[in-house]
Amino acid sequence: MKNYTTLKDIPNISELIKEAILLKMNPFEYSKLGQHKTVVMLFFNSSLRTRLSTEKAAKNLGMDVMILNVNDAWNLEFEDGTVMNVDKSEHIKEAAQVISQYADMIAVRAFPSLQDKAKDESEYILNSFKKYATVPIVNMESATAHPLQALADAITISELTEKKTPKVVLSWAPHPKALPQAVANSFIEMMQHLDVDFCITHPEGYELNTEITQNTPINYNQEAALQDADFVYVKNWSSYNDYGKILNQDAKWMMTKEKLGKAKFMHCLPVRRNVVVEDAVLDGNQSVVIQQANNRTFAAQVVLKQLLENL
């Protein structure tokens, strides 16, 4: 693996999941692999899990970690040929090359604006680092994708499934803030690669990018979609077609213990209790959200390991 910016960078997903599960059993087996190697983690947005799990993963491999909250640094210009006489102090061309002097790989978190669809979909922040940095780039959630989360989700399903082909449902949930589509996009792409019976349920108007959903079944009837599910992944996203808008906050779509049935409950976290999902689900024994969060370490670790092996 040369970079990890999308799931397409993974040569063999099922092999990577197996390798992550082996690393989880023996997390310090490769503790010398990353000796004298540094990952610089750049955060344009907040994080709890991604920041700590990626740092832990790097340290398990013996790497050094440097973290920069980008808002504390110079305001970056991403456009080519601009006259930088307003508020931007440093161009990405220099910044990415300079950070590459201090890093053996660069991990970036940069959310979408949810205002300008074309600009968000260009992934200009992540792709500018890919273009100008001279070291591998890791996506820690970009405008359209969260591949580290999707890998942790796949590891969790692989660990817990009792069936060869479990039924997995991605169920939209209400939320008071307009949220990105990135987690849902990557989860869908991951499920399309696994041996699962997968469908998506959301209210009309919340259709995601059809280039991502492709032939995945979409059911506007949540109750019907959830029938006999083994795993229910709950996530809010704002409208893709009416870009970045909240179309409704219909509380009927909140996940409840009754609707969950016998399925395991999944969510990437953070989650708003009693808006996205009721307490009884999160506090019950069908919730696997903590295991998912734990698996973020081993998803990051297997990715960093493969990048280190290709340096």
Q: How far is the CB of 262 from ligand CP (least distance, A)?
A: 25
Closer CB to ligand CP, 164 or 177, in the complex: 177
Instruction: Check residue 49 for interaction with ligand CP (CB under 6 A).
Output: yes
| Token pair recorded at residue 178 | 């307009």
Q: How far is the CB of 32 from ligand CP (least distance, A)?
A: 28
Closer CB to ligand CP, 24 or 93, in the complex: 24
Q: How far is the CB of 66 from ligand CP (least distance, A)?
A: 18
Closer CB to ligand CP, 47 or 216, in the complex: 47
Instruction: Check residue 47 for interaction with ligand CP (CB under 6 A).
Output: yes
Q: How far is the CB of 53 from ligand CP (least distance, A)?
A: 8
Closer CB to ligand CP, 88 or 272, in the complex: 272
Closer CB to ligand CP, 22 or 48, in the complex: 48
Q: How far is the CB of 120 from ligand CP (least distance, A)?
A: 17
Q: How far is the CB of 311 from ligand CP (least distance, A)?
A: 25
| Token pair recorded at residue 163 | 């069936």
Site for ligand CP in 130-159 (CB under 6 A): 141, 149
Rule CB under 6 A: choose which of 5, 6, 50, 238 binds ligand CP.
Answer: 50
Closer CB to ligand CP, 49 or 167, in the complex: 49
Taking the C-alpha atoms of residue 18 and residue 9, their distance in angstroms, rounded to an integer, is 17
Query: Where does this chain touch ligand CP (CB under 6 A) — which range of 4-12, 41-49, 92-100, 217-225?
Result: 41-49
Rule CB under 6 A: choose which of 48, 247, 251, 290 binds ligand CP.
Answer: 48
Q: How far is the CB of 164 from ligand CP (least distance, A)?
A: 28
Instruction: Please name the residue that has the structure tokens 């493969």.
Output: 306
Q: How many residues form the binding site for ligand CP (CB under 6 A)?
A: 9
Q: Which 3 state secondary structure label does DSSP give 38?
A: strand
Taking the C-alpha atoms of residue 146 and residue 140, their distance in angstroms, rounded to an integer, is 6
Rule CB under 6 A: choose which of 76, 269, 275, 280 binds ligand CP.
Answer: 269
Q: How far is the CB of 297 from ligand CP (least distance, A)?
A: 12
Q: Contact positions toward ligand CP, by CB under 6 A?
A: 47-50, 141, 149, 268-270
